[in-house]
Each structure stands twice: as C-alpha cells, then as structure tokens.
Structure 1
C-alpha cells in the first residue's frame, strides 16, 4: 500500500480523495483505493447504520466515523478561508448526536396506489419511502407511518411535508394538499389527537390554513416562549443551537448594546446580555419576536437588510453585532460593518464559502478574525455551519 492509493481526505461533495488525486464515492480517510476503483475499508470507515444509505439524500457521510466527520468539517472551513487568503484558529467541531434533528422537510407522492413519504434520493426527484431514520428526533419520525396513512386518503399528486418539534409537540405543515370537507377535517383531527400533534396546517397553494391547534404553538429561545409560525426557520438541533449561542455570547462578551442582524425568531437576541436591537426582513418572524419580547430589552424592527442594511452611522452606536445571514451571506451589510467602529462581531454562517468572502471584507476593513468553530447540526451530511469571532485590534477585551 502506498500513499498514492490511500484515501487522504474527503472532498466537499463527500468523495474520498486518494494521494494520486483519484476520487472514490463513499470512501473514508485510511481506505485503500485499488487500480480497478474498488475500496478496501480502513480504520475510519464505519458500517452505515441506516438501511436507506447511500440512496437517501438525507445523509452523505454515514460511512465516516466521528473523527473523520469532524475532520471533514474542519477541512471545509480551512479550505474556504485559505481560498480567500485568510487563516484563523479553528476550534474542535461541535457535533450533534444522531436522532436530534427537530425540523425537516420530507417529500410525499402518490405512486402505484400508495403514498411514499421521505427524503429525496440523492440528486433525484425520486423519494425514499422512510422505514427508519437516524437523524430525525424520534418524536418526528414516529409521525411518518401514521402521516403516510393520512395522506393516502387525500393526496392526489405530490406534496411537501414540513415537520418541526415545538414546545407543545410536533408541528406539521403540508404544502400541496387540498383536504376539504367534513371527512378531511375529522381525519386530520383524529390523526393530530392520536399522535400528539401540536398543530396541523395545510397550504393548497394560496396560503397556510391551520386545521388543528388546540393551544398556541411556541418555541422556547433563550428561556422565552416565542410564537412559532408554521415552517419557521430554527437551528436544526438543540445541541447546534446551544453551541452557536454560546459562541456568539463569547464573541461579544459583556456588550451592553448589541445589534442582532437577520435575527429571525430571536435565537440570539433573546440570549444576549444588555439591550439588543433585532433586525429581520421576514414579517412572520419579526411579529413573533415582538410578541415574545414585550417587557424585555429587545427592540425588533422589520427591515430588509439586503436592500437597506444598517449604515455605518447606525452601526457605530453598538458595542457588538451578531450576524446570522442566509446562505448567500451578507455582502451589503458587511461593507457597512467594515467601515464602522463596531469593536466586536459574532458571525454565524451556514455556508463556509460566503462566510470566507465576507470575512475577507471585514479583515480588509481592519477587523481580526480571532477564531472559528465548525458546528455539525446536519449529521452525516456535507452541510457545514460555523460561528466566528471578529474584533478590532484596539478594542477592549470582550
């Protein structure tokens, strides 16, 4: 065996890469790649636990052990920074355990007289009819079989099923389902009551219609129950949320006045010290945060931060900024931040590429990238999240 034949790393899309540059699907570091393309498993190649792997698109890396998955997250981030000419201390990744995902979107389709319900096949519109799942919280997976039976009565084509674990239990939204009439109402109520569902809503294509919600549905963020709009964005696992919040708090220190930009429902705003301005462009999210934050030092504003980012003059009021943009990053807002006098920034990202691009702008504006921590919320996937701390060299300690 030579280094040329040994898998040395895992590429961004999950292929193993040998020392001679050859790629092999579902290969782990330490595996040996033969001339004919066959793979001999090495010390980091584990037996995938789920029967649906590798067809199911919910996971791409179940063949990696914990150590090599953590290294994959580290390398993705290091490569993104290197591509922008940056470097920073990268902390050990925070990994969410199996079966902890509290939100997911499944596909549903009537096919051959029955309904399929599950994740898509990798790079395909075909569906895996889930019989087991090693990433979903068991309380969500327990809905799959009874929900399949319910949809079998009313679904005519395809639908999307959003599952979220709220304070009151599972929250279900089915897009593409028109379940009208007394029979449908009774079936939905019976399903929800029998399975402990907190809310059941449908969207036939013209807006969300709540069909079952015996009490208002909430999600607790920072110790505060926040009204939860259907299919709202949440951090994927409680463990991932806790890691990101802890990193943000560490990055901003004891700031007395902080701006939380792209604040969503208040995952960070409700967990930060001092007074917090919370800017968010999604109406449902900002209205929920306003309802939850009454009497607390959180000041939400409905604001499109892509079209109307906080200006340098506005930013200069704050002792710290928490930034949690969508996958595309926050180029417009980062340009204003780079020109501001804000001393500390916590940047939360779900895309190492757009993060590294924005980090370069901040560093060129005089910030220092102090550290980065990868966060693996989407277990066994190639998806990488992170939290990073920026500071100005002349700013006081956090």
Structure 2
C-alpha cells in the first residue's frame, strides 16, 4: 500500500470516485469529481487520507455517521451524501442510461424522480449481542462490523423515534452470539419488526421478548424467523385507497413517496385495459391500485403476501374483481396461451429480473406492459427481449427510492403497435 496524490474525474457504478492513472483506474470511496486527494492505494482500490483541493461539487453530509471510517462514521448505509444534488442526480440517472446503452436500447430517459430524506419506511438494521447489551446499526461497508447509529437521515421519523425501543428489543432478542437482522417497517399504528436470526429461542426467551414488546408503545408486532411472537395490532399500509395488513418481513416498497409515483405511472399506462396481470405482485402494491379500473389477476410465489393481497381485496368496496394465484414464475412462467386473456400486464421481479417470463410475454398479444425494476442491468436485458419481440418502449422513468445509494428504481412503459 502506498500514498499517492490523485485527481478524481468521475463517479463509478457503486458511487466511488475514479482516478485515471498510468496504471489504470483507482476507485476511492467518499470522493467527488474534481477532488484532488491523498489516498492510500492498494491495487485498484484506495482509502481517502486527505482532500487537498475539494471539488466545488463537494457538500457537507447531513448525517454524522457518514464518511470515512472512524468510531462514529462509516456505517455503510449511504455512499453519496457528500456529492452535490445536481451531480448526484445526473449520476444516478446515468446508471439507467448506461444499462440501456449496453443493450443498444435508444430511449429518452426522464429526469430522476427525487425522494426526500426521512421518507424511507423500510429499513434493515444489523444487531449483535455485546457485554453491554445489543449493538444495533448498519454494517460498515464491505465488513461484518456493526456501526451503532443514533439517527438515520434516510429513515422515517417514526423509525428514528423508535430507535431506543429497537435497541432494547435487540438486547432482548440477542440470545446467541451471532449477528442477526432487524427488518423494520414504518406502519400504522406502530413499527413492525421481523427478526431474521441464525439462532433459536427457548420458551423463556419467547416470553421475555413478548413482555419486552408489550412495554414498547412504538411497536405493533414482532416476529422471529417468520413466526409472529406478538401482534398487539395488525400493521397497516395504504396501497392507493386500499388498506393492507402486510405479512411479517414481506416485500414492501422502501419509500411510500416512491411507491406513489410508481403506482401512478403503472396505473396511468394500464387503466384502460379490461383485464390486467400483475406478476410478482407481492401484497398488492400495483394490483390493488389497478383494481379500481381493471379486473386483475395477481401472481406471486410468497403465500403470506398473496394472502394479504387477497384479504385486502375482499374487504374493500368498489374494486373490480381480483383473483390470485400462488406460482413461482421463475420455474413456471405464464405461458402464451394464458397471456391471451390480458390486455395489460405489470411485472416487478426481484433483482435477477424475469428473463424466462419475459420471453413468453414478448411473443404475446398483450397491448400494454409496465416493467418495474430495482436493477437497471437486468431490466435492460428484459426490455431488449420485449423490444425484439415487437414492443415499443414508450418511456423510462428512474426513481430515487434508495436515496444516496447506488441503487435506483425504474419504471419502463411499453406498447405493442397495431399490426
């Protein structure tokens, strides 16, 4: 490892600054294009030592836990709080543009839809037992070390207010030496906690945790490895005008603000379709909004999420019919004959995308398609398949659901031209 003076010229795909040298590119976290720095270099990676000349696009991070490693900073949750908004937004939109260009897809990518700090409603904390109770926070970047956080500028006010309660409950849960995860959802009437842990609980452990939750007003439910230990009141989320009780640890869009934008884009594109298929539907983020205009068939592999969707649809007045099907679309995609029933379709798969399913959609007669993804790379692959199948890409909208990170949500709308 050697100390070198470096000029940072641009941002890489993970948000690290890049310096071009005679020996190749060097990636330096916490730097900004235009910075002149001293850095400790090891092969293609470097650690920031000092900023010699700051870039005009360098700003003061709003979070005390953000920055190069020290006892309070380096939590690993954010990568780009130190970059001016204009540069950050152009860079994040550029991730989508680059992914499409890699597949030779020509598209007019819309400006990034921004989300405000303090709007993240779903946060995953890491926790571990210590001699002084449990530590709860985020893993330092590329490390298993947990950095304790006193506040999170990305998370909602309700989650921040609940942090002392979360630490107390983490201490109650931490019966094993191994690290575990606290999946925290900001819901009504209180936060919903789903614990994912590599250890087991005894009956005395269960009773102690249940009593600990009873004492915390901020918490409505706690589950441990998918088993509900206590539910004081069922957590509630609004999907459009429909109230849903999400299952423990079930998939939920990270930001309600982003979800509203995504829902408006999807519904606006598909609302004239008499019958719509919602693939990888989760608990009904899109299905229950679409059901205000269309007959919806929701397909999802996760049984509890599908049950939550079905229950919400059945007890809501004024919706068009909603049918549900438990099905693993990776192993058993909807086939061409099944797709003939639908004029509209939305799919929102995990990060791996929906390559096999999209192959059948590309050969279908479905008129309008909304493709939603948190991974521009796999989305671009799936869009290429649809475009080669004859679909026209109408719009691409990047949404900053994952503020100050290298992740971006995208909604792409397609249409099959009349033949």
TM-score with structure 1 setting the length: 0.90
Match of 2:329 in 1: 305
Which whole-Å CA distance do the structure 2 matches of 1:285 and 1:250 have between them? 24
Match of 2:300 in 1: 280
| Conserved? CA contact 2:362–2:385, under 8 Å | yes
Cα pair distance change 1:187/1:16, threshold 3 Å: closer
Query: Could you list the per-position Cα deviations for residues 289-314 of structure 1 after superposition, in whole angstroms to 9, with x for gaps in the alignment?
Result: 11111164211111111111111121
Which whole-Å CA distance do the structure 2 matches of 1:60 and 1:324 have between them? 25
Q: Secondary structure at the match of 2:117?
A: coil
Cα deviation, residue 11, structure 1: 1.2
Query: Could you list the per-position Cα deviations for residues 181-240 of structure 1 after superposition, in whole angstroms to 9, with x for gaps in the alignment?
Result: 56863664354443331112223xxxx332322233332212111221111111001111
Match of 2:42 in 1: none
Which whole-Å CA distance do the structure 1 matches of 2:280 and 2:131 have between them? 44
Match of 1:160 in 2: 181
Q: 1:26 aligns with which of 22, 30, 50?
A: 30
Which stretch shifts more, 172-181 or 208-217?
A: 172-181
- The root-mean-square deviation of aligned C-alpha atoms, in Å, is 2.3
Which whole-Å CA distance do the structure 2 matches of 1:167 and 1:281 have between them? 26
User: Map of 1:177-216 to 2, 5 A cutoff?
Assistant: 180=202, 185=207, 188-203=210-225, 208-216=226-234
| Conserved? CA contact 2:206–2:229, under 8 Å | no
Match of 1:41 in 2: 54
Query: Could you list the per-position Cα deviations for residues 105-145 of structure 1 after superposition, in whole angstroms to 9, with x for gaps in the alignment?
Result: 11111134432101111011110111121111121122222
TM-score with structure 2 setting the length: 0.86
Structure 2: give runs of 5+ residues left out of the alignment: 1-5, 40-47, 68-73
Which whole-Å CA distance do the structure 1 matches of 2:56 and 2:263 have between them? 34
| Conserved? CA contact 1:161–1:175, under 8 Å | yes
Cα pair distance change 1:183/1:294, threshold 3 Å: closer
Q: 2:112 aligns with which of 93, 112, 116?
A: 93
Match of 2:95 in 1: 76
| Conserved? CA contact 1:305–1:333, under 8 Å | yes
Cα deviation, residue 35, structure 1: 8.1
| Conserved? CA contact 1:98–1:135, under 8 Å | yes
Query: Could you list the per-position Cα deviations for residues 10-60 of structure 1 after superposition, in whole angstroms to 9, with x for gaps in the alignment?
Result: 21111123577654422224x233587864322321111112113111111
| Conserved? CA contact 1:321–1:344, under 8 Å | yes
Match of 1:53 in 2: 66
Match of 2:137 in 1: 118
Aligned length: 386
Which whole-Å CA distance do the structure 2 matches of 1:214 and 1:150 have between them? 15
Which whole-Å CA distance do the structure 1 matches of 2:57 and 2:264 have between them? 30
Cα pair distance change 1:214/1:368, threshold 3 Å: same
Q: Secondary structure at the match of 1:288?
A: helix
Which stretch shifts more, 73-82 or 177-186?
A: 177-186
Structure 1: give runs of 5+ residues left out of the alignment: none
| Conserved? CA contact 2:99–2:380, under 8 Å | yes
Cα pair distance change 1:81/1:98, threshold 3 Å: same
User: Map of 1:1-398 to 2, 5 A cutoff?
Assistant: 7-17=8-18, 23-29=27-33, 31-33=34-36, 39=51, 40-54=53-67, 55-153=74-172, 155=174, 156-157=176-177, 158-176=179-197, 180=202, 185=207, 188-203=210-225, 208-272=226-290, 273-294=293-314, 296=319, 297-394=321-418
Cα pair distance change 1:135/1:350, threshold 3 Å: same
Cα deviation, residue 150, structure 1: 3.6
Q: Which has the higher contact order (CA 8 A, sep 6+)?
A: 1
